Homo-oligomer: A and B are copies of this chain.
Amino acid sequence: MTVSIVGIGLIGGSLAITLKENGFADKIIGVDISSENIDKAYRRRLIDEDMSLEDAIKASDIIVLSTPVNAMMSLLPHVLNQVDKQVVIDMGSTKEKLLDVVKEHPQRGRYVSAHPMAGTEYSGPEAAIPNLFDNKCSVICDQEDSDEDALKIALSLFESIPMSILYLDAKSHDVHTAYISHISHISSFALALTVLAKEQDETRIFDLASSGFGSTVRLAKSSPDMWVPIFKQNRDNVLDVLDEHINQLARFRSILIKKDYDTFYKLIQESNQIRKIIS
């Protein structure tokens, strides 16, 4: 298979490493509007060749779109306009608005809408790592709108890694990811700002910061170029979850004010149930 990766950053670059290593791709073509990214991708041996988008589409069996989600809105229909029998797969973190854009596209069937649930707080080709996707889950949305053979090829890509598959409609996907991923980022951004606002003497924070703190704020290192478009596209769901999260924090605040430590104890016990969900 020849696979083009459009947007050769953390996600695209990591996928390039994996598909080349496991033999799924004979050739990886890189497409990126940044020539600096293309240079880095060559130097890190993420890609075998770089091409213009048009040439890459013609030369490929599969075109993977892994740009920020705002760019995807015009990129995806533009790519589908040029597609014949190739399969187009996007890796975006929001789905409803993107799927709306290509709902009536004559080549909609060649497109498979995916979201691999994997990432780190870093970005760019320099952030690409092997094994990022191994044994993680990839969501596939509205698969009934993809051609049978296109879906089969997309599945064979994910299974080669291997990743498990979860089918969701686009609307459910966006609600679930607001809870499972997007709110964690806002929480980390806010926590980082809280601490940065207070602690001017940064050396002291650095000395004191334990692994627990590092773990809760690490997502605050995430790129605004990637995340602002996600929050823009998933605004309504994120607002719902954010309201709920602020309410939960206000509950802890009110309990502390009332010195109601028995309820505090019960709430921690309740939150301990998360043990069943994350290992």
Residues of A with Cβ closer than 8 Å to B? Answer: 117-121, 136-137, 139, 164, 166, 176-177, 179-181, 183-199, 202, 204-224, 227-228, 231-232, 235, 238-239, 241-246, 248-253, 256-257, 259, 261, 264-265, 267-279
Q: Are B209 and A219 in contact (CB under 8 A)?
A: no
Listed by A's residue number, 12 A-B pairs whose Cβ atoms lie within 8 Å are A180-B195, A183-B191, A189-B267, A190-B252, A190-B271, A195-B274, A213-B278, A221-B278, A227-B268, A238-B256, A242-B253, A249-B249
Closest A-B pairs by Cβ, 10 of them? A224-B268, A190-B248, A192-B271, A192-B274, A184-B216, A189-B271, A117-B210, A220-B271, A214-B278, A194-B245
Chain B positions within 8 Å of A164 at CB level: 207
Chain B positions within 8 Å of A181 at CB level: 208, 210, 212-213
Question: Which of B177, B235, B246, B265 lies in contact with A246, CB distance below 8 A?
Answer: B246
Chain B positions within 8 Å of A187 at CB level: 187, 191, 216, 249
Given A184-B217, A216-B188, A253-B243, A202 contacting B166 (CB threshold 8 A): no
Chain B positions within 8 Å of A191 at CB level: 183-184, 187, 245, 248
Task: Say what secondary structure dominates the interface of chain A.
Answer: helix
Complex Cα spacing A179 to B205, Å: 9
Complex Cα spacing A209 to B181, Å: 7
Complex Cα spacing A246 to B187, Å: 10
Complex Cα spacing A186 to B245, Å: 11
20 new A-B contacts at CB < 8 Å, known A190-B271, A193-B271, A198-B244:
A117-B208, A117-B210, A119-B210, A119-B211, A121-B212, A136-B210, A166-B208, A179-B198, A180-B205, A181-B210, A184-B216, A190-B252, A191-B245, A197-B248, A202-B277, A206-B278, A221-B274, A228-B265, A232-B259, A235-B256
